[in-house]
């Protein structure tokens, strides 16, 4: 799930060939970094000689495929990449002023839409991943990770209305422990499923009158067969009817 940011290639010193042109905000230094007779790097500077951005043609096809945005800072605060070399930016890496990665946006399907967004902590470990599975321009799956980058929770907007209506909780070794649903889309959970070893369903709890409290409990044996149902018919929080399966 984690995207490894591509390495940067900074223009420092020692290049044999470069030219200097001007643009409305300052100057552009054009560089042939690999001495093949073709320009492959363009440094944009302000009138105050502050570095604004560097454009690169990494594969020598004459098209820019990486842009480092400085905006006057010593190190890039944003890096834009064309991973599939089709002329379109499909990955954007955001950094703070100390050049610590903060987030990565990605067009994972090369569809022209940024549908993938990773968020990192100061130790360069992923905290959250947001994705747009149905390509409607809105994130609908949200994955949360621990300090050790283990998956701990996933939230879904299955109805594409902008509201989370399904929650998955994971335990050690990223094993699925429970799944919670908002079946009537009122913003509150009303069904809880509990698992053992990720796949073995042990219990389902229902809130049938949507008052925020479970009033029906279903229990399953080790083979996944329903063995008992408990009902709270007067909604006082206590089971008052038990049905055993044959």
- ∠ CA(129), CA(134), CA(138), 5° rounding? 60
Q: pLDDT tens digits for the chain (246 residues)? A: 555 554 443 333 333 455 656 555 679 999 999 999 999 999 999 999 999 999 999 999 999 999 999 998 999 999 999 999 999 999 999 999 999 999 999 999 999 999 999 999 999 999 999 999 999 999 999 999 999 999 999 999 999 999 999 999 999 899 999 999 999 999 999 999 999 999 999 999 999 999 999 999 999 999 999 999 999 999 999 999 999 987
Q: What is the pTM of this model?
A: 0.84
Tokens of 52: 């604004």
- ∠ CA(31), CA(82), CA(124), 5° rounding? 100
Cα(85)–Cα(197) distance, integer angstroms: 43
Quickly count: other Cβ atoms within 10 Å of residue 44's Cβ. 19
Q: pLDDT by residue (tens digit) across 47-62?
A: 999 999 999 999 999 9
Q: Kindly calculate the radius of gyration of the chain based on its CA atoms and give it in whole angstroms.
A: 27
Tokens of 146: 């621990």
Give the per-residue pLDDT at 5.
52
């Amino acid at each position: 799930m984690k995207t490894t940011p591509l390495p940067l290639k900074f223009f420092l010193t020692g290049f044999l060939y470069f030219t200097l042109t001007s643009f409305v905000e300052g100057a552009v230094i054009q560089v042939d970094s690999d001495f093949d007779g073709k320009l492959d790097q363009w440094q944009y500077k302000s009138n105050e000689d502050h570095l604004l951005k560097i454009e690169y043609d990494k594969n020598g096809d004459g098209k820019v495929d990486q842009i480092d945005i400085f905006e006057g800072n010593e190190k890039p605060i944003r890096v834009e990449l064309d991973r599939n070399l089709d002329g379109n930016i499909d990955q954007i890496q955001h950094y703070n002023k100390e050049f610590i990665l903060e987030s990565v946006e990605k067009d994972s399907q090369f569809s022209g839409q940024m549908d993938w967004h990773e968020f990192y902590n100061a130790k360069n470990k992923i905290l959250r991943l947001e994705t747009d599975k149905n390509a409607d321009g809105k994130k609908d799956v949200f994955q949360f990770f621990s300090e050790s980058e283990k998956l701990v929770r996933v939230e879904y907007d299955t109805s594409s209305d902008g509201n989370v209506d399904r929650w998955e909780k994971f335990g050690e070794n990223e094993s699925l422990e429970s799944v919670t649903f908002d079946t009537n889309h009122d913003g509150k959970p009303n069904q809880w499923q509990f698992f053992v070893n990720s796949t073995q369903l042990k219990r389902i709890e229902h809130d049938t009158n949507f008052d925020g409290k479970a009033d029906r409990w279903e229990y399953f044996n080790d083979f996944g067969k329903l063995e008992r149902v408990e009902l709270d018919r007067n909604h006082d929080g206590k089971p008052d009817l038990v049905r055993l399966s044959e």
